[in-house]
């Protein structure tokens, strides 16, 4: 269990959408410093925010971030991409890129920061998943989120010895640019950020951020043909 107040936090994908809402909520709860990353340079003039350029597909970029953020106590792996397309028809490069960002990106970041977190007593890692991890028909994005769910569960076991909390976030559709074309009810990013940090400070291993996600998880024990969803192809 960790406390956000007076903590130092890394948030990947912290410039917009859910990441920006998480940064805002961290500051509201009294975080001492937030390293907010994006693929491009940007400016945030708030004194507690340090912006960093980060490419989660680059070992070198991640190593540079880790070298600059040796005081980090919490790492929130939020950065991700959604490239719509069916698995049988999407460009394989798009499928590969989706996995490189959504699965191997958080794994690379966690591997780089695990020793740093251990040096501060364990800290925490937060990985953002998706309800689409459990729903067939969501293409490479859903498959990548299913993979990072499994990665998160394994990391929780591997990092237990160094007392690092690992929180998996299962989120439904959040009102961000990424899913703006999907005509379904969405949750405000600020509400999701609050639920994530509530779960983190409660010492939870997993959080379901909305009713639809809770219903989807409950359905996992039912007929597999009910676990479907169609992203636009």
Condensed to tens digits (0 to 9), the pLDDT of residues 156-191 reads 999 999 999 999 999 987 877 666 666 666 679 999
Q: Give the residue-averaged pLDDT of 110-127.
A: 99
Predicted pLDDT at 176: 73
Predicted pLDDT at 174: 81
Q: Distance between CA atoms of 17 and 78, rounded to whole angstroms?
A: 10
Q: Give the residue-averaged pLDDT of 177-206.
A: 86
* Alpha-carbon separation of residue 168 from 73, 99, 149 (angstroms): 17, 17, 7
Of 47-56, 146-155, 201-210, 214-223, the poorest mean pLDDT is in: 214-223
Please state, for a pLDDT cut of 70, what percent of the chain lies above it: 93
The torsion defined by the Cα of 217, 220, 221 and 225, in degrees rounded to 10, comes to: 140
Which neighbouring-strand residues pair with 90?
A: none
- Residue 231: pLDDT band with limits 50, 70, 90: low
Class of domain 8-226: alpha beta
Radius of gyration of the chain (CA): 17
Q: Distance between CA atoms of 155 and 69, rounded to whole angstroms?
A: 21
- Residue 135: pLDDT band with limits 50, 70, 90: confident
| DSSP codes of every residue in the chain | ----TT-EEEETT-SSHHHHHHHHHHHHTT-SEEEEEESS------TTEEEEE--TT-HHHHHHHHHH-TT--EEEE---------TTTS-HHHHHHHHIIIIIHHHHHHHHHHHHHHHTT--EEEEE--GGGG-BT-HHHHHHHHHHHHHHHHHHHHHGGGT-EEEEEE---BSSGGGTTS-S--B-HHHHHHHHHHHHHTT-SEEE-SHHHHHHHHGGGS-GGG-B-----
Q: Which of 159, 157, 151, 155 is nearest to 121 (CA)?
A: 159
55 Cα distance to chain centroid = 15
- What pLDDT, in 10s, does the model give residues 14-71? 999 999 999 999 999 999 999 999 999 999 999 999 999 999 999 999 999 999 999 9
Whether residue 230 is predicted with pLDDT greater than 60 in this model: the reply is no
Predicted pLDDT at 233: 42
Place of tokens 């676990």: 227
Predicted pLDDT at 229: 64
Give the burial string for 152-183 (b: 16+ CB within 10 Å, else e).
beebbeebeeeebbbbbbbbbbbbbebbeeee
Predicted pLDDT at 184: 67
- What pLDDT, in 10s, does the model give residues 67-91? 999 999 999 999 999 998 999 999 9
Tell me the pLDDT of the chain averaged across its residues: 93
43 Cα distance to chain centroid = 22
């Amino acid at each position: 269990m960790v406390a956000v107040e007076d903590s130092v936090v890394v948030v990947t994908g912290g410039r917009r959408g859910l990441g920006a809402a998480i940064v805002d909520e961290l500051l509201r709860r009294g975080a001492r410093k937030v390293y907010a990353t994006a693929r491009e340079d940007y400016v945030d003039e708030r004194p507690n925010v340090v912006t960093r350029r980060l490419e989660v597909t680059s070992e070198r970029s991640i190593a540079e971030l880790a070298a600059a953020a040796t005081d980090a106590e919490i790492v929130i792996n939020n950065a991700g991409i959604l490239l719509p397309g069916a698995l049988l028809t999407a460009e394989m490069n798009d499928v590969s890129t989706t996995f490189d960002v959504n699965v191997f990106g958080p794994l690379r970041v966690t591997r780089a920061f695990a020793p740093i977190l251990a040096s501060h007593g364990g800290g925490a890692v937060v990985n953002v998943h998706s309800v689409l991890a459990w729903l067939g028909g969501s293409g490479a994005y859903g498959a990548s989120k299913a993979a990072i769910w499994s990665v998160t569960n394994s990391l929780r076991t591997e990092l237990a010895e160094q007392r690092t909390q690992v929180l998996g976030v299962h989120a439904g559709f959040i009102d961000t640019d990424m899913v703006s074309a999907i005509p379904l009810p969405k949750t405000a990013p600020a509400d999701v950020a609050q639920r994530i940090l509530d779960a983190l400070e409660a010492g939870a291993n997993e959080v379901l951020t909305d009713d639809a996600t809770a219903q989807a998880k409950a359905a996992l024990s039912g007929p597999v043909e009910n676990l479907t969803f169609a992203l636009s192809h």
